[in-house]
Structure 1
């Protein structure tokens, strides 16, 4: 396969990670979950009892943290420890946008993400991949869905990982709306669709249909 980089962007709950992981598997790409990296830093910040507004402390943590992914990208190892489950907790979800909007932190993590993309065929998902992290990506895709649908997906995902969770669907929806606002209005690399991105509304599509559409777009790029 010719060298290729694929950027998948979109708001919380649009299905970016699920789609990117399966496309990576079927197209033999390295999957890089950039959102997991921001969640990992948020987890460490909260674990050390640091206020999300203490920017210098957060940058210190990021600069001293190693990130590694399993071959399929489904597991993230933070400083050598598997933190895949911990970074998906409701508390991390509530604070990740506050942490990820810090400009200096984004510079640290973007540098790490670009390094991973230099020597691999990659598919990377996040909120600013096509506009900021990989502006020269061979293919850019912007996934979206209605707020209710995105909240439903995130709520079901939460129930699967924590059956005893006390968070309600309405709370998940409020969190989605809050993240949308923070992500789209932050000063540095806000959530916007790149001009040359292919937009796919996944509200009424099955995961398989979205995956097939992205694979079709990749094959067109390679043709």
Structure 2
């Protein structure tokens, strides 16, 4: 855990695999603290979706990286909407197809480098809550507090399956579990910024925890740093 010794805005990073609950927890904490919020996964999903929309081969890392550098995107903080080239793509970003494509392009070093400066630009006063997979290891290695939120693959698949079913998406639990496990393997074994906890991260397993219990643990850690 690193405490800032200068005037740089504080950062709380929450990393972890898909379905661990980090998006929900990060959003709630950012709202509660009155800090800015970065959903880094959305940037990779936007890059992937833009590539799909323009027929760019996802195996061509150089082409995808150029696209990432010039993304025309806008986040509406009031209602949580995300716009790509002027179109509201909030729902499209959360589909399994986009998620799968995002996991593929995120493995490219050139794409990660192209989006690095954009992510770091979110670090402004009064503070930032950054949700992702390498926030504490690569993007903000000097973060004030680092959390790695995880859960069993079965539980994460169950959560995702219930979410998709509630949205009217036809799928099966086995199919979702297979996708979760494949994404975990790809994210944790990639050469560029693999999904691993930072050495000084607080590791939280949310398999048997409620959202409120996870929040309480992080609140307590923040309280020790006198940031709340």
Task: Verify the 8 A CA contact 1:76 1:84 in the aligned structure 2.
Answer: yes
Residues 67-125 of structure 1: per-residue CA shift (max 9 Å, x gap): 33232683322233321111111211222211111111101111100011145510001
Task: Verify the 8 A CA contact 1:11 1:144 in the aligned structure 2.
Answer: yes
Match status 1:149 vs 2:149: no
Tell me which residue corresponds to 1:222: 226
Say which structure is richer in helix: 1
Tell me which residue corresponds to 2:122: 116
CA distance in 1, matches of 2:186, 2:119: 22
Tell me which residue corresponds to 1:82: 88
Match status 1:195 vs 2:199: yes
Tell me which residue corresponds to 2:133: 127
Q: CA deviation at 1:63?
A: 1.6
> Residues 42 and 212 of structure 1: is their aligned pair in 2 closer, same or farther, counting only changes over 3 Å?
same
Tell me which residue corresponds to 1:22: 28
Task: Verify the 8 A CA contact 2:38 2:129 in the aligned structure 1.
Answer: yes
Q: CA deviation at 1:20?
A: 0.2
- Following TM superposition, the consecutive aligned residue runs of length 4 or more in structure 1 with deviations greater than 3 angstroms are none
Tell me which residue corresponds to 1:140: 146
CA distance in 2, matches of 1:75, 1:187: 32
Q: CA deviation at 1:141?
A: 0.2
CA distance in 2, matches of 1:38, 1:73: 20
> Residues 69 and 153 of structure 1: is their aligned pair in 2 closer, same or farther, counting only changes over 3 Å?
same
The unaligned stretches of length 5 or more in structure 1 are: none
After superposing the two structures, state which structure 1 stretch, 26-35 or 76-85, moved more: 76-85
Task: Verify the 8 A CA contact 1:30 1:71 in the aligned structure 2.
Answer: no
Task: Verify the 8 A CA contact 2:165 2:171 in the aligned structure 1.
Answer: no
CA distance in 1, matches of 2:110, 2:95: 24
What value does the CA root-mean-square deviation take over the aligned residues? 1.7
Residues 190-215 of structure 1: per-residue CA shift (max 9 Å, x gap): 11111110011100111111122212
Normalised to the residue count of structure 1, the TM-score between the two structures is 0.92
> Residues 156 and 62 of structure 1: is their aligned pair in 2 closer, same or farther, counting only changes over 3 Å?
same
Tell me which residue corresponds to 2:46: 40
Residues 21-70 of structure 1: per-residue CA shift (max 9 Å, x gap): 00111111111100011011111111122221011221221122133323
Tell me which residue corresponds to 1:179: 183
CA distance in 2, matches of 1:135, 1:112: 16
Normalised to the residue count of structure 2, the TM-score between the two structures is 0.91
